[in-house]
Amino acid sequence: MSLTSQNGRTYLPHTLIEIISPRLPCARPRHFLFDFDGTISLIREGWQQLMIELMLEFLLATPEAEDEQTLTRMISDLVLHSTGRPTLDQMTFLADEVAQRGGLRHDPHMYKRLFLDRLLARVNERLTALRRGQFEPADLVVPGVLELLAELKRRKIICHLASGTEKEAVLEEITALGLADYFEDRIYGPQDGGPVFSKKVVIEGILETYGLAGCELVSCGDGKVEIEYTAQVGGIGVGVASNEVERQGINEIKRQQLILAGANLIIPDFREGEVLVSYLMGEDEAK
């Protein structure tokens, strides 16, 4: 297969599908695992900014706080690196950082509640608009994902969904987008009072339940967590470096993170989903 090179990056010909390391030789992938926020859904677009603002608010108020600029940089980094992990983990980081600066360490659940209250106000506005028909599902998803899911279904590939967001909220949002049927009972996320959730466990569970070799699993995500765990089991990581605001082009920070995590491919979105799938299935090799 011929690849094209541009600015030191290598692409599948005539596409924006960037090859970081070629697909592993193996049987055809039979299962796809999707992250939710930023990979499929844009309903929570802007959550990182809300989390950064909340953390900044509490850290600035501590006795030994650094200046705002230093803190913003540290927090942005922390949020970026922990994307894909449960919210409670991120709020535990916050509690620890507050304590380290001589502040009163609140229960991470308190920070989480506050964050979710702010986020949910925004999410609910978008969900209401979606249900009233003021928004189409296509307006609130990463471009091309609706067509990609239909194509995977046509090929009888089994799709799974795993999110660091509470499972109940993911179910509500995927249903509002009209995409729940693609995943049936294969939606995973943290649940109040449930066991500790991690995408690592989800990935291991899928391989075990379906008797898959690592390379039969394709994982699509915009966060490093899912890509890292997928790489660890020998799976194929498709890094979705989505620009959630513009809904086109690459988010360079996400791209860097995803490559470091071990992504095999980087895509801006799923607009070229059909080419992507046929590449992953090894269908272009004869050409």
Minimum CB separation from Mg ion for residue 44, in Å? Answer: 9
Q: Give, in degrees to the nearest 5, the angle at Cα 222 between 219 and 227.
A: 40
Minimum CB separation from Mg ion for residue 221, in Å? Answer: 6
Stretch that binds Mg ion, among 27-35, 106-114, 174-182, 185-193 (CB under 5 A): 27-35
Tell me phi and psi for residue 274, to 5 degrees.
-65, -45
Neighbouring C-beta atoms of residue 42, cutoff 10 Å: 21
Instruction: Say whether residue 38 binds Mg ion (CB under 5 A).
Output: yes
Minimum CB separation from Mg ion for residue 229, in Å? Answer: 14
Instruction: Say whether residue 35 binds Mg ion (CB under 5 A).
Output: yes
The smaller minimum CB distance to Mg ion, of residues 79 and 95, is found at 79
Please, which residues have CB within 8 angstroms of residue 232's CB and are 6 or more apart in sequence? 200, 262
Instruction: Say whether residue 222 binds Mg ion (CB under 5 A).
Output: yes
Stretch that binds Mg ion, among 16-24, 172-180, 195-203, 215-223 (CB under 5 A): 215-223
Minimum CB separation from Mg ion for residue 163, in Å? Answer: 7
Give the up-direction half-sphere exposure of residue 217: CA atoms within 13 A in the CB hemisphere. 28
Binding residues for Mg ion, total number by CB under 5 A: 5
The position carrying tokens 């296509």 is: 138
Instruction: Say whether residue 223 binds Mg ion (CB under 5 A).
Output: yes
Distance CA 186, CA 207 (A): 13
Out of 12, 32, 33, 37, point to the residue binding Mg ion (CB under 5 A).
37
Distance CA 103, CA 65 (A): 9
* 19, 99 Cβ separation under 8 angstroms: no
Minimum CB separation from Mg ion for residue 39, in Å? Answer: 5
Instruction: State both tokens at 216.
Output: 């039969």
Instruction: Say whether residue 45 binds Mg ion (CB under 5 A).
Output: no
Residues lying near Mg ion in the complex (CB under 5 A)? 35, 37-38, 222-223
